[in-house]
Amino acid sequence: MGNSYVVAVANQKGGVGKTTTAINLATSIAYLGHKVLLVDCDPQANASSGLGVRLPSGDRSFMSFLIEQSTLPPLFQPLKNLPMWLLPSHPDLASLEWSLPELNDRENLLSKRIRLLRKRSKFVIIDCPPSLGFLTVNALVSADAVLIPIQCEYYALEGLSLLLDTVRKIRLRWNPDLGIDGVVFTMFDRRNNLSHQVVSEIRQHAPFYTYQTMIPRNVRLSEAPSHGLPVLFYDPRSSGAKAYMELAKEFLGRSLRRNNGEKKGSGSLH
């Protein structure tokens, strides 16, 4: 891993707060004084627009970084007073999977380039598409670990088992060191019995870490992206902003223990 830590935020199920988590965790880590690079590898480019970055077609983006082997990544600093950079995406990225069908070793496109991103910051957070296709596989092959946001609802366990099966396959074929950073529970409603049941069941049976910090349902979290801002800047007093700051502190505390020799067992999956 070296001195950097690359985390893919992934769940093939849409609407679980994946991009919200990637944006707001990255922002909160940067607010706490650590260099962070947020990589938007989703053709929907929501992590980019959620930080106020909308690229015209043809501008250099994550896609050009992936396929132009000799060039540096086009990085933006969307919040000027924070040590956070964005490698933005564009909807053109959707065509990439179909334009490279015959390319050998195409699952390793990002892993061949990730060194350039590792050099730029201590933490690299990759926002993956809501699918287990070519782009998510590239992210998982390149990452040290996967962070899994899970919505506290009935189908959560089904989606989790599919993703964990993909992680096993990635480990067997391309990235034997891929760990599970942990599960983050999102859209938690403390008045809803089902929310509590989902959390309890996953905590009881998961052979890896589940974050203690849970992200509540919060209107301000939903509104912030339309203003091109993370919730910490849109409404710092909201329950959503406070929860992501707590999540960042928990994430950083675990990272510190990991660097001090804690085994990767918290991310084991056997």
pLDDT digits (tens, 9 = 90+) for 122-161: 999 999 999 888 999 999 999 999 999 999 887 877 778 8
Residue type, 233: F
Reading the block at residue 256, the tokens are: 């510190």
**Closest C-alpha to 133, from 104, 161, 96, 160:** 96
Residue type, 200: S
d(CA 81, CA 64): 27
pLDDT over 60 (residue 267): no
Of the ranges 18-22, 54-58, 187-191, the best mean pLDDT one: 18-22
Q: Is residue 56 part of a domain?
A: yes
Reading the block at residue 16, the tokens are: 């679980």
Q: Is residue 269 part of a domain?
A: no
pLDDT over 50 (residue 225): yes
Outline where DSSP puts E strands in 76-210. 84-87, 123-127, 145-151, 179-186
Question: 241 versus 191: which is more confidently predicted?
Answer: 241
**Closest C-alpha to 48, from 35, 57, 61:** 61
Tell me, what CATH number does 201's domain have? Answer: 3.40.50.300
The residue range of the domain holding 138 is 5-259
Angle between helices 18-31 and 239-259 (to 10 degrees): 70
pLDDT over 90 (residue 95): no
Mean of pLDDT values over 20-38: 97
| pLDDT of the residue at 171 | 97
Q: How far is CA 29 from CA 84, 139, 227, 253, in A?
A: 9, 20, 21, 11
Least confident of 24-33, 57-66, 174-183: 57-66
pLDDT over 50 (residue 1): no
Number of domains present in the structure of the chain: 1
| pLDDT of the residue at 265 | 41
Q: Is residue 265 part of a domain?
A: no
Q: Is residue 264 part of a domain?
A: no
Query: Would the pTM of this model clear 0.85, i.e. be above it?
Result: yes
Reading the block at residue 101, the tokens are: 């069908």
Q: How far is CA 219 from CA 48, 109, 193, 213, 224, in A?
A: 20, 38, 20, 18, 9
d(CA 173, CA 212): 32
